[in-house]
Amino acid sequence: MYTRLYIIYPDIGLHALMPIMRFTHLLFLSILSVSALTACSSEEPVKEQSQASPRYVKLATVSNIPDYDEFTFPAVVSAVKTVDLSFEVSGRLIQTDLVTGSDISKGKLLATIDRKPFERRVDESKTRLEQAKRELDRIEKMFAQKLVAQSSLDSAKTSYELAVIDLKNAEQDLSYTQLYAPFDAKVSQRLVENNSFVAAGTPIARLQDVSKIYFNINVPERLLTANIGRGIKQASATLATNRSQWYPVNYVEHSTQPDPVSQTYEVVFAMEPREELPLTPGARAVVKVSLQGSLYPEGLVVPVRSLVGNADAGFSVWVYNEASNSVTKQTVEVKHIEDELAIIESNGQSNLTLGQKVVAAGATQMRANMKVLPYQGEK
């Protein structure tokens, strides 16, 4: 489409306007062509300039394999032992000092059942013992005078000995009417209320020995098997909700049979109670264990995210050249992958050297000789 320009001269007719119209058309097309060429020429430098702009990448340093392996496990806090407290005789509960959640000292009186029936039995046993003693003295005198047979003397001695045993049993049953704390503990649960009749062996309370804090972790069978013979260099634990402060713990024991369902082995660590670390049995915690030595004494370590490729086609990394601010692709041989780290063969086709920088994020977007700049992060 174009605009017709009519220039009317008084002395010129309509036929004289045709050359002017053709000239106007050509002029308009020329302006459009120049505009299009100008637009194209202005876009090409912008595109070339954007392609040449370096990309910021996160780098990681190729490092040696540490002289120990570190593993982190979720843990559950437990008591040294949990004991169900119960009477060894039956009777009515007449006194308790069992407050759930309270701390108790060793030897404290916790509960008592009615002692009167047991006291009467002790008195009865004492009376029978005195009677048996008098009878024995009488028979001995008669035997000395040869007035009774040896069998009578033996029967009197047996009756006396049985009376002694009966008194000891009665006194022991009387002592069983009171329960004392067997160790420094925490009352986990009260199971029977006061004035209840309790039978012998019926638990009345549950006590937890918290003289130490136990941390129970479950180690997978494959991990335990792969690290047989390696000692524990150090171990520490902390709360699962706050990992700012770690506390040293000591190995206690581990199970030798795996759980039939999870195929894990239970390992127990212990720590002395700390006022600044309020832990109660059942709390969630984290245990960090460092094993001495390494399964791969020779090799280098790079982040797993720096690897490009797969196990079938092989792996590579993008090595950063600080002089040219560019990256080059380097084939590597992966020996093992553990969590976020990959162990690289230090010789052979893996020509990586200690201290080199590799692209640790966005490696799949790199290409040969691509210009990059290290990402320093916010300051």
pLDDT digit of tens for each residue in the chain (379 aa)? 444 544 444 444 444 444 444 444 444 444 444 444 444 444 444 444 445 588 888 898 888 776 557 889 999 999 999 999 999 999 999 988 899 989 899 999 999 999 999 999 999 999 999 999 999 999 999 999 999 999 999 999 999 999 999 999 999 999 999 999 999 999 999 999 989 999 999 999 999 998 899 999 999 887 877 677 677 888 999 988 888 889 999 999 999 898 899 889 999 999 998 888 878 888 999 999 988 766 666 678 888 888 888 888 888 899 998 888 899 888 888 877 776 888 787 665 567 788 889 998 888 888 888 888 888 765 4
Last residue of a domain, which of 292, 326, 360? 292
- Structural domains counted in the chain: 3
pTM attached to this predicted model: 0.56
- The two tokens of residue 143 are 């035997």
CA distance 307 to 319: 11
Last residue of a domain, which of 292, 318, 342? 292
Identify whether residues 229 and 272 lie together within a single domain.
yes
Identify whether residues 192 and 255 lie together within a single domain.
no
Domain coverage including residue 127:
94-203
Q: Which residue, 220, 41, 207, is CA-closest to 108?
A: 207
Identify the CATH number of the domain in which residue 334 sits.
Answer: 2.40.420.20
Identify whether residues 300 and 288 lie together within a single domain.
no
Identify whether residues 245 and 312 lie together within a single domain.
no
Q: What is the CA radius of gyration of the chain?
A: 46
Whether 35 is in a domain gets the answer: no
Identify whether residues 186 and 256 lie together within a single domain.
no
Identify whether residues 256 and 114 lie together within a single domain.
no
Q: Which residue, 122, 100, 230, is CA-closest to 176?
A: 122
CA distance 209 to 187: 9
Identify whether residues 188 and 222 lie together within a single domain.
no
Q: What is the residue type of 15? A: H
